[in-house]
Structure 1
Amino acid sequence: MKADNNPARGMRDLLPADVATRDHVLHAITTTYRTFGYQRIETPALEDIYRLQGGQGGENEKLIYQVLRRGLPETTETSEPIRDLVDLGLRFDLTVPLTRFYGNNHATLPTPFRSLQVGPVWRAERPQKGRYRQFYQCDIDMIGEPTVLAEAELIEATTAALAAVGLHTVTVRLSDRRFLSALATDAGLPADSWDRFFITLDKLDKIGWDGVRTELTDTGLPSEAITTALDKISSLREVPAEKLIDTLTSTVPSLPDTVIEDLAATSASLDRLAEQRPLQWEFDPTLVRGMGYYTGQIFEITHPEMSSSVAGGGRYDELIGRTLGKDVPACGFSIGFERIVGLLTDNIARNATAILVESDVAVADPLAIARNNRNEDRIVEVVRRSGKLGAQLKRLHAAGFTTFIPVSVEDGTVVVGDERTI
């Protein structure tokens, strides 16, 4: 049988050109975030399985790669529950590890704490275009800020980071979990059905309005309440920004004043931001976000060339309390790193220079020449001459070299030629 060269389906090897593009994107994003005061931290790939399966990760908890406990015998009883054999799992996002990190280190961190995380996460889902079992996330979070200063700044920082990468034509979609709860209440949906309602509504893009209505009906929810809820949501789509607050107040009477005030503040900030840079935003009553830990405003950023969002996040004021024993206000935004890289079709030029050395040149000489030409912004590599010059220059150009410096020996003297364009 032929060996499988890709046993980890959905996980990829990355060629140098791929990594160069990813490094370019990562540098642009993290440089922008640092100007807003976000500080880089790192958390382990493995987390306690009980924390990962704490009921706040939504559907992603079904996709956790679980790790067997050390010291298990070679065989176990077939009836032994899997949960008894597992104590760790690979993280499925960066938010759950951050809450543990903050709970353990909050005494030494400033308030508010602006966190920046970049790293791989793992989900055992079916691989498809743009979705992998191992992929990178890039997150910023503000912990300890109770007002929508956090939401407004996170949105501004993330749209600035996307602009730094070259994605200027973006739309910010805004909603609020508290709005969805109030809407469900006014529609007559029982409180114990809200999670089912939210999960089904989150599938709207995939199954459409009829599919949502059918799936909700199949769960046994009252048909009148389903109709009322969906009609309210439909009426709030594409409401002009200047009419948003009044329309929300009249459509969802039980919506608390604090939610209205928070949405008004974020809306005003987005309006001001849109005056200074190319940006569109909208209130989207169908926006849910899959994670169960969101407690307030939620948001996503879309790009016309992507069918799904390129970034998303929201407020999660109760998640840190699971570690710390008391709730701490927190809000975060995650960039879909792989999707952004996929939008950049052109490879990033290396602009490298080859010190092209004839075989009779001593090793120390080309190394010294390269050393004198190399700096922080210039890549210089020593390359031995081989084959026909024209063919070798083609290979160098394909590898990202833009210039070369020939080095040879004439009458016992090292001769360094002029730098030439490839």
Structure 2
Amino acid sequence: MDNSPARGTRDLLPSAVALRDHVLARITEVYHRYGYQRIETPALEDLTRLTGGQGGENEKLIYQVLRRGLPDPVAADTPVADLVDLGLRFDLTVPLTRFYGNNHANLPLPFRSFQFGPVWRAERPQKGRYRQFNQCDIDLVGEPSVLAEVELIEATTEALAAVGLPGGATVRLSDRRFLSALAAASGLDESLWSTFFIGLDKLDKIGWDGVRTELAERGLPTEAVKSALDRIQSLTGLSADKVADALANALPSTEPQPFIEDLATTVGCLDELARTRELRWEFDPTLVRGMGYYTGQIFEIGHPASRSSVAGGGRYDRLIGRSLGRDVPACGFSIGFERIVDLLAERPSRESVAVLFESDVPLARALHVARELRAVGRTAEVLPRSGKIGAQLGRLTAAGHTSLVHLRSGEDQPQERELER
């Protein structure tokens, strides 16, 4: 019998779980200071909700669950849609929108939500990509202004600093409304916008020439593509005070473009924050993000040690309306929890006392000593003495114990001593 876990999933040893607990505790502490409240949603969601056309490529990776009560065997020509009704969630945003639709009457407005839990995607397993992994999300629901974007970015960058993520992270910022306006100003028909965005999203993998080639192969007009890409390239490397004018010049319009002022406010706040603590940011006109539900500003955090972003999110003002029947402004940021854990060089120390007792020492005495240690907040494990003392001490050290109380018969006041690391 094969006892290995399913492909793309992992067993986690105590040391790995201890690191993950440490990371989650630091993130939770920061998010709580900003007023975000922890909620939980089920792993299973109605399949029609998960396949509503807003999850991008992730909708192709859903683990579907068979309906209860199916006959055995099932007729060979039965459509798959008649066999399944539930699916494992592929992110935490779609469940949040259902949660808010069901519970909004009992929630404050705006509502600051914090979620942590497993999600599932039928990925092709590889380093950094798993079929079951944890996500860590905060969302600000009911706040229409850029307060939401700025606060989410500030809180998340603070959380990443708190867990000890090495320096070098950069916040990249753009806006779906900007991308749509740019496509329109370049002469692309609205029916081609999504194709253009998909091609642009591959820039970091295939480069400018690759994007041009792919868009041409997809049948997009050459001149319109050239105009759009030229405009985008003219908007890189902007300082905070240049963003508004540069966007206005690149997108000539007689109509007001509210997203320009919004972006200027956001980058201005980030620039101010960067004067008080380590923070790098850039307006990135090539940033797209794959989810179909984004309606405004989008953002990612990149790190030089990771090929993929370590956090990402954006505004999704129309997604909750599918559950509630009316649109509610919402914005969220998700930390790539697994990637953060993989990037951390230092493992948290584990302070633990091994209470070792000889065979002629009453068990009650060993338990009493451990109980006293725990009463003052220490971690203590009771272990019988066995084998060669040197070998056992080595095993204790390997298991993460940092000190030892060795109980011997006739010794009234045993001394605690540190174990050699």
Q: How does 1:1-400 map to 2 (within 5 A)?
A: 3-6=1-4, 8-167=6-165, 168-254=167-253, 256-375=256-375, 377-400=377-400
1:55 aligned partner, one-letter code: G
- Going from structure 1 to structure 2, the CA distance change for 1:361 and 1:317 (only over 3 Å counts) comes to same
Q: Distance in 1 between matches of 2:185 and 2:4?
A: 52
Following TM superposition, by how much is the alpha carbon of 1:56 offset from its aligned partner in structure 2, in angstroms?
0.1
Q: Distance in 1 between matches of 2:376 and 2:149?
A: 37
TM-score (norm 2): 0.97
Give CA deviations for 1:261-307 in whole Å, capped at 9, x if unaligned. Answer: 10111011101110111011000001011100000000011122112
Q: Distance in 2 between matches of 1:203 and 1:287?
A: 10
Which structure 1 segments of 5+ residues have no match? none
Q: Distance in 2 between matches of 1:251 and 1:198?
A: 18
The one of 410, 416, 420 equivalent to 2:417 is 420
Which structure 2 segments of 5+ residues have no match? none
Give the secondary-structure state (helix, strand or coil) at the position aligned to 1:110: coil
* Contact 2:183 2:228 (8 Å CA) reproduced: yes
Q: Distance in 1 between matches of 2:4 and 2:200?
A: 36
TM-score (norm 1): 0.96
Q: Flag as ranges the 4+ runs of structure 1 deviating above 4 A.
A: none
Q: Distance in 1 between matches of 2:353 and 2:396?
A: 9
Q: Distance in 2 between matches of 1:262 and 1:377?
A: 49
* Contact 2:5 2:11 (8 Å CA) reproduced: no
2:83 aligned partner, one-letter code: L
Higher alpha-carbon deviation: 79-88 or 309-318 = 79-88
Q: Distance in 1 between matches of 2:287 and 2:4?
A: 36
Aligned pair count reads 417
- Going from structure 1 to structure 2, the CA distance change for 1:202 and 1:256 (only over 3 Å counts) comes to farther
Following TM superposition, by how much is the alpha carbon of 1:5 offset from its aligned partner in structure 2, in angstroms?
3.7
Give the secondary-structure state (helix, strand or coil) at the position aligned to 1:347: coil
- Going from structure 1 to structure 2, the CA distance change for 1:376 and 1:282 (only over 3 Å counts) comes to farther
Following TM superposition, by how much is the alpha carbon of 1:4 offset from its aligned partner in structure 2, in angstroms?
3.6
Following TM superposition, by how much is the alpha carbon of 1:170 offset from its aligned partner in structure 2, in angstroms?
1.8
Q: Distance in 2 between matches of 1:256 and 1:115?
A: 33
Following TM superposition, by how much is the alpha carbon of 1:376 offset from its aligned partner in structure 2, in angstroms?
7.0
Q: Distance in 1 between matches of 2:80 and 2:5?
A: 23
Following TM superposition, by how much is the alpha carbon of 1:363 offset from its aligned partner in structure 2, in angstroms?
1.8
- Going from structure 1 to structure 2, the CA distance change for 1:294 and 1:256 (only over 3 Å counts) comes to farther
- Going from structure 1 to structure 2, the CA distance change for 1:376 and 1:83 (only over 3 Å counts) comes to farther
* Contact 1:118 1:137 (8 Å CA) reproduced: yes
Question: Identical aligned pairs, as a percentage?
Answer: 68
Give CA deviations for 1:286-343 in whole Å, capped at 9, x if unaligned. Answer: 1011100000000011122112111000000000000000000000000000000001
* Contact 2:240 2:264 (8 Å CA) reproduced: no
- Going from structure 1 to structure 2, the CA distance change for 1:376 and 1:284 (only over 3 Å counts) comes to farther
* Contact 2:50 2:59 (8 Å CA) reproduced: yes
* Contact 1:406 1:416 (8 Å CA) reproduced: no
* Contact 2:240 2:268 (8 Å CA) reproduced: no
* Contact 2:38 2:115 (8 Å CA) reproduced: yes
2:418 aligned partner, one-letter code: T
Q: Distance in 1 between matches of 2:53 and 2:4?
A: 32
Give the secondary-structure state (helix, strand or coil) at the position aligned to 2:409: strand
2:199 aligned partner, one-letter code: T
Higher alpha-carbon deviation: 318-327 or 230-239 = 230-239
Q: Distance in 2 between matches of 1:360 and 1:226?
A: 84
1:245 aligned partner, one-letter code: A
2:149 aligned partner, one-letter code: E
1:421 aligned partner, one-letter code: E
Q: Distance in 1 between matches of 2:24 and 2:278?
A: 22
